[in-house]
């Protein structure tokens, strides 16, 4: 989805005539009352029975103009032992105990739960990226803002998380300047964290920029365009630990992010080769392995249809041959892992949803004909039913929102697509990374546009080809809580005028 962000840097807020004090406890500042700054507990809090909480002073951003490489090495050696700031540790712990489970979904992922946190203890850009995402997530979950529509920058925690985000980018630039392609794994991981931060705060266009940057870096590394650094040394050996990290951990994550973006009708994010190779599917019971293999199958499908860079398009014969090969891989995957899909645990249900969604995407990847989706009404209905089951569990992956959006946009069965919209509406408002209110409202508008002129749609065939939307762009203003929608119906060359929807 293309979002026109209403960010502070693009649309500055009007300042009050008085200067807001930076003193006072956290609770008084949130309540907008004058604090007497009595520590450890101020009078305003104690007199009203509130728990008085204070913010540590945010860390100052240190500027360093082109430090020598020895300085960089010394900084790294000291960094792992200098994470003693209470606020950093608080945000880091919040990420470890809460945020990481939203990023991984319902399936446990050792990379997010262990490897990433270990890297974050040593690499400054990763550390501050973790701290920033954890802090911003806590800002949304803060009890004082439970029913608020305030943008993160309007909250104390959101502002502090933003400071750490800036530090993460500064350290990333320093890392790239001195490590170049030798540190490609850290750069890719930081791109993922930055994209997660921007998506959480509602800046989807900026998040897309980070995703594109990561894909471009990954594609160049995979294509071997930079096999040697300036000194003639190998950048990242194919057998190295770093290469293994990229292949087995970062590639599935990028594939997953691209797949989420592609659930929208017109998300112009290309897909890199993503290290897809011949797979001999073995039957391990580990759901992570099954899921990663499944994402790789989709990645290969996306690569064939949407290559990254100026590569030559495939001939129709080659494209159909590759498509048949991918369909065969998908069938082999199901034969291998189908026993894991019979359970009603959140992990298995989530995996079955992914398989069903990817099956539809792969089989419809050769054509833009919107009528072909009618052949998958049963699969769309299965996804909605599984999503309904998944919603009954305490921990539900928010990734169900883009999946349900895909159903609402592509399935023209009136009952199934309306069930999908209702499930989107039932999801909690702002969470990693979707705004369910905005998403549901856009889906409702698409349904209204496609069914316009038909008094009561009873079957998908009643939504004729000329009414079906082939491309969709939308820009959402999180301040005004409205979205501008433009669309193009199948067979049309011209885009529609803008339509404003509110939520």
Ranked by mean pLDDT, the top range of 45-49, 207-211, 234-238, 265-269 is 207-211
Confidence class for position 451, pLDDT limits 50, 70, 90: very high
Residue at which a domain ends, from 240, 267, 294: 267
Task: Indicate the length of the chain as a whole number.
Answer: 503
The percent of residues above 90 in pLDDT, for the chain, comes to 23
Task: Determine, yes or no, domain membership for 107.
Answer: yes
* Residues facing 474 on adjacent strands: 485
Confidence class for position 28, pLDDT limits 50, 70, 90: confident
When pLDDT is averaged across residues 225-245 and rounded to a whole number, the result is 58
φ, ψ of residue 473 in degrees (nearest 5):
-125, 145
- Of the listed ranges 104-118, 293-307, 323-337, 434-448, the least confidently predicted one is 293-307
Q: How far apart are CA 175 and CA 187, in angstroms?
A: 8
- Of the listed ranges 149-153, 215-219, 414-418, the least confidently predicted one is 149-153
Task: Determine, yes or no, domain membership for 111.
Answer: yes
Q: According to the model, what pLDDT value does residue 331 have?
A: 92
CB-based contacts of 226: which residues, under 8 Å, 6+ apart? 181, 220, 235
Residue at which a domain ends, from 235, 267, 299: 267
* Residue, of 354 and 150, whose pLDDT is higher: 354
- Of the listed ranges 137-141, 147-151, 481-485, the least confidently predicted one is 147-151
149 pLDDT higher than 60: no
Q: According to the model, what pLDDT value does residue 428 have?
A: 61
Q: According to the model, what pLDDT value does residue 64 have?
A: 35
87 and 212 co-located in one domain: yes
Mean pLDDT of the chain: 74
Confidence class for position 261, pLDDT limits 50, 70, 90: low
Q: According to the model, what pLDDT value does residue 420 have?
A: 95
50 and 90 co-located in one domain: no
pLDDT tens-digit map of 103-134 = 765 555 678 888 899 999 889 999 999 999 99
Task: Determine, yes or no, domain membership for 220.
Answer: yes
83 and 188 co-located in one domain: yes
Q: According to the model, what pLDDT value does residue 383 have?
A: 95
Ranked by mean pLDDT, the top range of 10-14, 146-150, 299-303, 305-309 is 299-303
DSSP string across 365-429? TT---GGGGGGGHHHHHHHHHHHHHHTTSSS--TTHHHHHHHHHHH---HHHHHHHHHHHHHS-S
1 and 133 co-located in one domain: no
pLDDT tens-digit map of 62-96 = 333 333 333 333 333 334 445 678 899 999 999 98
* Residues facing 501 on adjacent strands: 483
Q: Are strands 482-489 and 469-477 parallel, antiparallel or unpaired?
A: antiparallel
Task: Determine, yes or no, domain membership for 289.
Answer: no
188 and 258 co-located in one domain: yes
Task: Determine, yes or no, domain membership for 242.
Answer: yes
Task: Determine, yes or no, domain membership for 95.
Answer: yes
When pLDDT is averaged across residues 341-359 and rounded to a whole number, the result is 86
146 and 14 co-located in one domain: no
49 and 178 co-located in one domain: no
Angle at CA 464, nearest 5°, toward 460 and 465? Answer: 115
Q: How many CA atoms lie within 13 A of 63 on its CB side?
A: 1
140 and 238 co-located in one domain: yes
Q: How far apart are CA 184 and CA 216, in angstroms?
A: 12
104 and 173 co-located in one domain: yes
Element (H, E) at 471: strand 469-477
122 and 196 co-located in one domain: yes
| Nearest residue to 71 via CA among 164, 187, 178, 173 | 178
Which strands sit side by side in the sheet containing 499-502, from one edge to the other? 469-477, 482-489, 499-502
Do residues 54 and 61 touch, judged by C-beta distance below 8 A?
no
* Residue, of 10 and 498, whose pLDDT is higher: 498
Count of Cβ atoms closer than 10 Å to residue 10 Cβ? 9
308 pLDDT higher than 60: no
Q: According to the model, what pLDDT value does residue 417 have?
A: 96
Task: Determine, yes or no, domain membership for 311.
Answer: no
Residue at which a domain ends, from 54, 70, 88: 54
DSSP string across 248-304? IIIHHHHHHHHHHHTTSTT-------TT-----------HHHHHHHHHHHHHHHHHH
Confidence class for position 362, pLDDT limits 50, 70, 90: confident
CATH number for the domain including 26? 4.10.240
When pLDDT is averaged across residues 196-204 and rounded to a whole number, the result is 77
> Which residues span the domain enclosing 207?
62-267
Task: Determine, yes or no, domain membership for 49.
Answer: yes
321 pLDDT higher than 80: yes
When pLDDT is averaged across residues 419-426 and rounded to a whole number, the result is 91
Q: According to the model, what pLDDT value does residue 251 have?
A: 80
Confidence class for position 1, pLDDT limits 50, 70, 90: very low
43 and 171 co-located in one domain: no
pLDDT tens-digit map of 159-198 = 899 999 999 999 999 988 888 878 888 999 999 999 888 8
Count of Cβ atoms closer than 10 Å to residue 460 Cβ? 20
215 pLDDT higher than 70: yes
Q: Write out the two tokens for 265.
A: 């009708």
Confidence class for position 379, pLDDT limits 50, 70, 90: very high
Number of separate domains in the chain = 2
80 and 46 co-located in one domain: no
In degrees to the nearest 10, what's the CA dihedral of 236, 240, 241, 242? 10
Q: According to the model, what pLDDT value does residue 479 have?
A: 56
Q: How far apart are CA 190 and CA 193, in angstroms?
A: 5
């Amino acid at each position: 989805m293309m979002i026109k962000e209403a960010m502070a840097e693009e649309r500055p807020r009007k300042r009050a005539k008085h200067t807001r004090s930076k003193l006072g406890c956290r609770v008084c500042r949130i309540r907008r009352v004058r604090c007497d700054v009595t520590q450890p507990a101020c009078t305003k809090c104690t007199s009203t029975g509130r728990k008085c909480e204070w913010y540590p002073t945010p860390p100052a951003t240190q500027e360093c103009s082109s430090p020598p490489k020895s300085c960089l090495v010394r900084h790294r050696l000291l960094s792992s032992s200098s994470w003693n700031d209470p606020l950093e540790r608080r945000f880091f712990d919040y990420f470890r105990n809460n945020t990481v489970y939203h990023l991984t979904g319902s399936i446990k992922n050792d990379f997010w739960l262990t490897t990433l946190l270990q890297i974050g203890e040593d690499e400054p850009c990763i550390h501050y990226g973790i701290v920033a995402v954890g802090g911003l997530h806590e800002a949304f979950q803060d009890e004082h803002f439970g029913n608020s529509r305030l943008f993160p920058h309007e909250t104390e925690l959101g502002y502090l998380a933003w400071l750490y985000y800036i530090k993460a980018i500064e350290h990333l630039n320093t890392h790239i300047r001195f490590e170049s392609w030798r540190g490609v794994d850290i750069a890719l991981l930081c791109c993922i964290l930055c994209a997660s931060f921007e998506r959480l705060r509602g800046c989807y266009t900026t998040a897309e920029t980070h995703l594109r940057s990561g894909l471009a870096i990954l594609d160049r590394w995979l294509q071997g365009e930079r096999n040697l650094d300036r000194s003639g040394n190998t950048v990242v050996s194919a057998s190295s630990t770093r290469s293994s990290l990229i292949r087995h951990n970062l590639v599935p994550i990028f594939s997953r992010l691209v797949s989420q973006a592609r659930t929208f009708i017109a998300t112009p994010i290309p897909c890199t080769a993503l290290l897809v190779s011949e797979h001999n599917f073995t039957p391990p019971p580990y759901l992570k392995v099954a899921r990663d293999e499944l994402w790789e199958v989709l990645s290969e499908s996306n690569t064939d249809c949407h290559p990254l860079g100026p590569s030559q398009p495939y001939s129709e014969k080659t494209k159909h041959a590759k498509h048949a090969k991918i369909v065969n891989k998908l069938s082999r995957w199901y034969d291998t892992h189908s026993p894991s899909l019979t359970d009603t645990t959140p992990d298995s249900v989530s995996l079955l949803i992914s398989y069903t969604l990817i099956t539809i995407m792969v089989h419809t990847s050769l054509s833009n004909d919107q009528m072909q989706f009618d052949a998958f009404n049963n699969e769309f209905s299965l996804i909605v039913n599984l999503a309904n089951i998944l919603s009954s569990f305490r921990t539900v992956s928010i990734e169900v929102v883009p999946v349900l959006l895909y159903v609402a946009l592509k399935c023209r069965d009136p009952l199934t697509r309306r069930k999908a919209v209702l499930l989107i509406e039932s999801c909690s408002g702002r969470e990693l990374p979707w705004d369910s209110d905005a998403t549901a409202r856009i889906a409702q508008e698409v349904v209204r546009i496609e069914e316009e002129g038909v008094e009561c749609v009873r079957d998908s065939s009643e939504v004729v080809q000329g009414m079906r939307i082939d491309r969709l762009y939308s820009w959402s203003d999180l301040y005004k809580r409205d979205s501008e929608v433009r669309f193009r119906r199948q067979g049309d060359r011209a885009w529609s005028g803008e339509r404003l929807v509110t939520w």
